[in-house]
Structures are given as C-alpha cells and as structure tokens.
Amino acid sequence: MLDKDRLFPTDPSLRKTARDLYNGVRDLPIISPHGHTDPRWFAENQPFANPAQLFVTPDHYVFRMLHSQGIPLESLGIARIDAQIERRPAQQDPRKIWHLFAANFHLFRGTPSRIWIEHAFEHVFGITQRLDATSADAIYDQIAHHLTQPDYRPRALFDRFNIEAISTTESPLDDLRWHKMIRDSGWGGKVVAAYRPDAVVDPEFDDFAQNVEQFGALTGHDATTWTGYLAAHRTRRTFFKTFGATSSDHGHPTARTEDLPQDVAAALFDRALQGKCTRDEADMFRGQMLTEMARMSLDDGLVLQIHPGSFRNHSTQIMARFGRDKGFDIPTRTDYVHALRPMLNAVGHRADLTIIVFTLDETSIPRELAPLAGVYPALKLGPPWWFHDSAEGMRRFRETATETAGFYNTVGFNDDTRAFCSIPARHDVARRVDCAFLATLVATGRLHPDDAPEVAHDLAYRLAKAAYKL
C-alpha cells in the first residue's frame, strides 16, 4: 500500500542519495521528547479497547476534518459536557464510529493524517487493503483481533516501535500516579513527565484562583502570595524531576515575555487571583512567568518549551458542548522579535539554558526566529508543529531555518501526538523529508557527501536526545 520511496525527490540521482541516507537512519531509536500520550497506558498495560478508540476518538487531526464536512462530534464518540448530554448522547458503538470513519476516509487524501494512518495500518497491523466503506468491517476485525494479543499491549508496542524515551505532559496539579506506577512496576521503558503549568500560570484558564489554592495545598506553600507562588513552582518542578522530567512546556496565546520588577509582578499576580486582570494584563502575567520559568530552569536544568500562537477553542459552541481540545485551535500571526526580547535580555546569553520555541506562524521563521536562534546561545528552534507537521511544512522549515540558524540551533523532531500508533509514522516522515533535503544540498554542492550521513543521524536522533537531556 505504501510507496517505499514516498516523499523522496523524483529525480533519480537525488532519489538514490535520499534513499541511501534514509537507510542509514530509518532504524534508529525514537526519541519522543514532547507529546500527549496517556501514561496510564504504560502503567496499567491494558489492551487498547477497539480500533475506533485507537484511531478516531482521541485524535483531533481526524475528527476536526470529519467535523469540517458536517459530521457531528457525538457520532464519532466525543462525549458532551453540557446539559444536552441526554438529547445528543455520544455514539457508544465503536463499529458504527469506524464505519463512519471508513466511509469518509477519502477526505484525508493528500493530508499527513492519511500517511500516518496508512503507515500504522501496514507496519503495525499488517493491513494492505485500502480503507473504505466496503473494507471497513474486515479491517476493523483485523485490528480488533490484534488488540487482544499480548504483542499489541502498550508496553509491547513501545518496544516494537523502538522508542528509547517518551515524554508525556502533565498539569502541575497532577499527582503523577501513573508515572509512579510505571516506576514501581520495574518495566524498563523510559516514560518521563513534562511540567505544563498553564492551569496555574494563565489568569484566563478556567478556575485559575482555585487552581492556585490547590497548587499551594499540594506544595505546602502559601501560593496566594507572590513569593509563595514562585516557591510552589520550584517545589513542584522538583517533584516532576523525580519522575524523570527534563522539560517544562508552556502553551500561551502569544510569545510575549516580560521582566518586571518583583513588586510590579506581585501586584499583577494579586489582580490575577482576584479576577481583575484585563486581557492585556493576563498576557503580561503569562509573559512574566515565562521569564520566571527560564530563571528556574537555570537552577534546576529543565528545558523551557514555548508553544505560542494558537487561538485555542475558537468555537464558543464547541467549547461549551465538549470542552477544551476538540480540534478548534487555530494558528495566529505571532511576533517574536519584540515579544521574546525581555526574556532574552535577561537570560538569552546563557549557554547553560535551553529555550525551545515553536511556531504556528511559519512566515516568522526566516524573518524572526531563525535570526534569533542564530545569535542567542539559549534559544533553539522547535520542529514544525501541529498544522505544519506535514512533509511540505518540514521541508519549508529546513529551507527557511537552515540558511540562518543552521542545523545545530534546531532540536531534531518531536511528534507531539496523542495517537500512539502514529509515533513511528511521524518520525518516519520526518526522517524521509530531512534525507530528501540533505540529498538536495549534496547535489547542489552545499553539503559534502561525507557530512550528510552524520547530519541525517543528528536530525533523526542525536539533537533531540541532547536538547531534551534524554
């Protein structure tokens, strides 16, 4: 079903070079330093429930496309949270969900989701039929049968996917019980936590003040005071490190940073707790906390990740009916030159600090981000994220970032996924695209043929492992 030379150049000589480079890196272990897989999978190691729960219901790449064609989220098994639960209950029959998915699989033609899903079908489940309405039952039954086998439980797939290390992402209010269960089980798979403090950093987050109170109770600090609040973060970051955390992660609407005097920051924090922040003040507080987190990283070594520029939960109706993270997050234009300046002036020259910045505004890469990463020692560029984690987006990233930032101010690839079986597929796409780009550099005399295999290895494996300290 899959073309063995997919994503390689069409020119025969370039294709051969790309293929040779790819053959040198395709079997390298996977470093998955940022993602959203559920640590409970690896803790309990129970079979995945059914094909729909594996491929459809948890994957917002999938259900946003289906919903764009008028298919209700309830019919895909997405549960409502509003008062209409009984009137419009979510579909509970996984086979019906699967039939709906299969009948509309043509909608994914030409998309990265199609490549990821078909890669998982073929390489994980041995499926070579094309999914459509007529093959739906046969493919469902084949996957369902495999899911009952020990070799298809989460830990076995982790090993089969050749994952060396994977990071999940947790709220600071999470007790990390699943990570504790993994650690206590004696299983050798490396699953580490990442510190995602949005719930207690963003004044516009639901129940922010109550979250901060809970935060204080968890840490034993009076988190309603500015000094106690910062101490609570330090305590919680230390707790996360006991479960392998090497990074913090921050999903902010903008890339704004601030470096305010401490008394001004304290007054702003008080306004946030009282629910009196304006929208601009809320953004200012988030920006201040990025700089505070960067300073904490100088002390505890956590890598600081910034994922800005998403207008989250764009649809008021979907947010009210289904809650957060239901496919209605939309990229926005983002300023980095002015936004990052306060933080970079404070800590950007520190070579012992790693700040990884992602973008959903790819026009900013050659104009802003690559020049910034090409001069500040602390700053590195995250790989194409979300709407740009496609073959075309990855290629554009290499073309626009390398000319100014080079390869070594980037951090390899991370898959940023909730869909477990897509992890090897996404890394395979990244390795193919990078090898195709390197083949072009070799052919045009910009990269020595002897250097290309080393660069391919770095992009596929070493840079991510080094940047995230895994």
Mean pLDDT of all residues in the chain? 97
> What whole-number distance in Å separates Cα of residue 151 and Cα of residue 298?
42
Q: What is the pLDDT of residue 302?
A: 98
Residue ranges per domain, the chain? 12-46+161-467, 47-152
Residues with Cβ within 8 Å of residue 342, at least 6 apart in sequence: 257, 258, 259, 287, 291
Residue 290: is its pLDDT beyond 90?
yes
455 contacts 407 by C-beta, under 8 angstroms:
yes
What is the DSSP secondary-structure string of 302-352? PEEEE---EETT--HHHHHHH-S-SS--EE-----TTTSHHHHHHHTT-TT
By three-state DSSP, how is residue 404 classified?
helix
Q: What is the pLDDT of residue 37?
A: 96
By three-state DSSP, how is residue 47 classified?
coil
Over the stretch 9-43, which tens digit does the pLDDT of each residue have? 999 999 999 999 999 999 999 999 999 999 999 99
**In CATH, what class is 47-152?**
mainly alpha
Q: What is the pLDDT of residue 414?
A: 95
Q: What is the pLDDT of residue 58?
A: 87
C-alpha closest to that of 307 among 356, 251, 383: 251
- Here the tokens at position 432 are 């193919």
> What whole-number distance in Å separates Cα of residue 177 and Cα of residue 237?
16
Please tell me the pTM assigned to this model: 0.96
Q: What is the pLDDT of residue 395?
A: 98
CB-based burial label for 369 (10 Å; 0-12, 13-18, 19+): buried
Query: In terms of CATH architecture, what is 12-46+161-467?
Result: Alpha-Beta Barrel (3.20)
Span 218-237, average pLDDT: 98
Give the type of residue at 450. D
Q: What is the share, in percent, of the chain residues with pLDDT greater than 70? A: 100
Span 434-439, average pLDDT: 98
- Here the tokens at position 410 are 């980037």
Q: What is the pLDDT of residue 221?
A: 98
Q: What is the pLDDT of residue 244?
A: 98
φ and ψ at residue 107, rounded to 5 degrees? -65, -20
Residue 84: is its pLDDT beyond 80?
no
Residues with Cβ within 8 Å of residue 77, at least 6 apart in sequence: 52, 53, 56, 57, 90, 91, 92, 94, 97
Q: What is the pLDDT of residue 83?
A: 74
> What whole-number distance in Å separates Cα of residue 213 and Cα of residue 208?
9
Residue with tokens 């990229």: 331
Confidence band, pLDDT 50/70/90 cuts, at residue 85: confident
- The per-residue b/e assignment along 209-221, b for 16 or more CB within 10 angstroms, e otherwise, is eebbbbbbebbeb
Over the stretch 323-373, which tens digit does the pLDDT of each residue have? 988 999 999 999 999 999 999 999 999 999 999 999 999 999 999 999 999
